[in-house]
């Protein structure tokens, strides 16, 4: 069937599987917009912490209260910027506090529903590479090419630390991070609303031991084979 809009490509997978950096590089090569959906969950978490909303109240939050947190997404060409109270969010999204609380926020149905429209509006015109946990299953179920990225737990822990601290981590740090990631994987996979799972027809890519450039090239080849761009 002919496509009615430009392509949408999704990359889902567990924490540290390399989705976000790969999606960003693929989007850049294709001249597409990149949606890092994890950053949206992180932005709401950041705002809840910053506004001092007690954690025991998070489960009862309604759409209007989420809107009142003043998290805004602005698209400028291919760039998706996220603001809180008009301030651009960058490294704040990856703080230890945000990372520790984001799984709890991402498990809230009201949060997921609120973000659904935001994400779909970013991808409404296609030419999009979106990464997250439910891009190919819930947010863009009719995406043109879907990937599911996996990697060993230790490799994922190492990459996460390298990304967050900009240096090669010590073995003890890797083990500790691996335990944290495993816990988050369990929370993300066992929640009742939009759990992490492999989308039907997704191409599974194991990135363990795969250099970053090879990972990007492999995805690019598959995209070029599977969809006329």
Residues forming contacts to ligand DC in the complex (CB under 6 A) are 15, 37-38, 41-42, 102-103, 106, 132-134, 184, 188
Minimum CB distance to ligand DC, residue 114 (Å): 13
Minimum CB distance to ligand DC, residue 201 (Å): 18
DSSP class of residue 15 equals: T
Tokens 């009742």 sit on residue: 192
C-beta of residue 202 within 8 angstroms of C-beta of residue 148: yes
For residues 19 and 14, give the distance between their C-alpha atoms in angstroms, rounded to a whole number: 8
Nearer CB in complex with ligand DC: 7/136:
136
Nearer CB in complex with ligand DC: 30/98:
98
For residues 205 and 143, give the distance between their C-alpha atoms in angstroms, rounded to a whole number: 17
Helices (H), the chain: 19-30, 37-50, 63-67, 96-106, 109-123, 153-165, 171-190, 212-226
Contacts of 168 (CB under 8 A, 6+ apart): 162
CA distances, 64 to each of 69, 158, 226 (Å): 9, 39, 41
Tokens 């191409």 sit on residue: 203
Minimum CB distance to ligand DC, residue 91 (Å): 13
Q: How many degrees, rounded to 5, is the angle at CA 74 between CA 216 and CA 137?
A: 50
Dihedral class, residue 2 (left if φ above 0, else alpha if ψ from -120 to 50, else beta): beta
Minimum CB distance to ligand DC, residue 130 (Å): 8
Minimum CB distance to ligand DC, residue 139 (Å): 7
Minimum CB distance to ligand DC, residue 107 (Å): 7
Nearer CB in complex with ligand DC: 7/18:
18
Nearer CB in complex with ligand DC: 4/176:
176
Nearer CB in complex with ligand DC: 163/224:
163
Minimum CB distance to ligand DC, residue 16 (Å): 8
Nearer CB in complex with ligand DC: 183/208:
183
Nearer CB in complex with ligand DC: 32/46:
46
């Amino acid at each position: 069937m002919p496509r009615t809009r430009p392509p949408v490509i999704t990359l889902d997978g567990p924490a540290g599987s390399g989705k976000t950096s790969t999606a960003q590089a693929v989007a850049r090569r294709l001249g597409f917009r990149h949606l890092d959906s994890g950053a949206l969950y992180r932005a709401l978490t950041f705002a809840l912490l910053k506004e001092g909303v007690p954690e025991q109240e998070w489960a009862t939050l309604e759409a209007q209260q989420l809107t009142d947190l003043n998290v805004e997404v602005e698209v400028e060409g291919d760039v998706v910027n996220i603001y809180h109270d008009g301030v651009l969010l960058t490294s704040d999204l990856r703080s230890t506090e945000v990372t520790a609380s984001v799984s709890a926020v991402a498990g809230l149905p009201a949060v997921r529903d609120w973000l659904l429209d935001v994400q779909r509006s970013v991808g409404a015109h296609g030419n999009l590479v979106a990464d997250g946990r439910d891009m190919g299953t819930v947010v863009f179920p009719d995406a043109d090419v879907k990937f599911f990225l996996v990697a060993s737990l230790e490799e994922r822990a190492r990459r996460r630390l390298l990304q967050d601290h900009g240096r090669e981590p010590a073995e003890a740090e890797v083990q500790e991070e691996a335990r944290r990631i495993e816990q988050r994987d369990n929370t993300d996979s066992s929640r009742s609303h939009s759990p992490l799972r492999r989308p039907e027809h997704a191409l599974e890519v194991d990135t363990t031991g795969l250099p970053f450039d090879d990972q990007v090239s492999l995805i690019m080849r598959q995209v070029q084979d599977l969809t006329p761009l």
